[in-house]
Structure 1
Amino acid sequence: MRITRTARRTRAGIAVSVAALAAGSLILTACGGSSDSAGKLDGTYYVKDVNGTSDLGQLVVKGNSVSHHEYGCDGVYEKPGVTSTGEFTKDQTQIIWTVAGDDSRNKRTGSESISTSSTSISIGGSVYVRDDSDAGKALLDGFKTKCAK
């Protein structure tokens, strides 16, 4: 009888330890996931022919803050022609534009649904590509070439 009681206690102790480790692992995983996703989109993204113009659209993401700029050939990398700022929703499925630029061409108002990948952010059917991706480098090179003419 004594061996049976000891074996039961040992099994019960192991079960409790495994359950505690599993719970601790879940808590650490949940905490790690939220901090990783907060900055995963950080960077600069571009799209050509923004809002149906021949301008270059630039989206800059820092944490939950987003700024959108539009550049014409005469203002590339200087002062943008149109600027808007906004924030991601907590689940990062929408951008809520908080300050719209005062240019009448500005289309960034209210909120817009987005989808993301490791190299792009899609907003309203326009795909903004990360500046350091192959597609982003090609887009920037093409815009510079077009503007040099």
Structure 2
Amino acid sequence: MSITRTARRARAKIAASIAALAAGSLILTACSGSSASASKLDGTYYIKDVNGTSQLGQLVVKGNSVSHHEYDCDGVYEKPDVTSTGEFNKDQSQIIWTVAGDDSRNKRTGSESISTSNTSISISGSPYVRDNSDAGKALLDGFKTKCGK
């Protein structure tokens, strides 16, 4: 009898271990899937004349975190004039702004819809181009020329 009980306990422990490993594997797969899709967006993006101003808009993406900075000619080499932070929603169709900058010109509040491509992120229809793309390099060169730097 004791051999039967020992065998049953061993099988039960093995089954529990397999179930735990399977559950852990599913959790890790789910986590790696979301960070993998977020990481393909990682980088720095720019837009000219952000919010209808002559300022340069910069969007920095790190995983699911997003920061938005606005620069004038002097600030682009130092500290941004306006900064906001946020994060992507689960399906990366929106940015939810969590901390708005204290500048009254800041337009980044609530949430905004986004669409993405390999070289850009559009926020509410305004395209931010990746800094190392041809369009991004041209935009930055034009801003530097305008600012006389």
Corresponding residue for residue 106 of structure 1: 106
TM-score by length of 2: 0.77
Corresponding residue for residue 95 of structure 2: 95
Corresponding residue for residue 143 of structure 1: 143
Q: Sequence identity of aligned pairs in percent?
A: 86
Q: Deviations over 1:64-90 (max 9, x none)?
A: 000000000111131000000000001
Structure 2 vs 1, CA of residues 75 and 35 (structure 1 numbering), >3 Å: closer, same or farther? closer
Q: Matches of 1:98 and 1:41 in 2, distance apart? A: 19
Q: Matches of 1:82 and 1:37 in 2, distance apart? A: 28
Q: Deviations over 1:31-80 (max 9, x none)?
A: 56444213110000000000000000000000000000000011113100
Question: Is the Cα–Cα contact under 8 Å of residues 85 and 99 in structure 2 kept in the other structure?
Answer: yes
Q: Write the letter of the residue equivalent to 2:144.
A: K
Q: Matches of 1:35 and 1:54 in 2, distance apart? A: 34
Structure 2 vs 1, CA of residues 38 and 103 (structure 1 numbering), >3 Å: closer, same or farther? same
Q: Matches of 1:100 and 1:142 in 2, distance apart? A: 28
TM-score by length of 1: 0.77
Unaligned stretches of 5+ residues in structure 1: 1-26
Corresponding residue for residue 15 of structure 2: none
Unaligned stretches of 5+ residues in structure 2: 1-25
Which runs of at least 4 in structure 1 moved beyond 2 Å after TM superposition?
30-36
Q: Which range is displaced more, 70-79 or 59-68?
A: 70-79
Question: Is the Cα–Cα contact under 8 Å of residues 35 and 63 in structure 2 kept in the other structure?
Answer: no
Q: Give the count of matched residue pairs.
A: 121
Q: Is 1:59 the counterpart of 2:80 in the alignment?
A: no
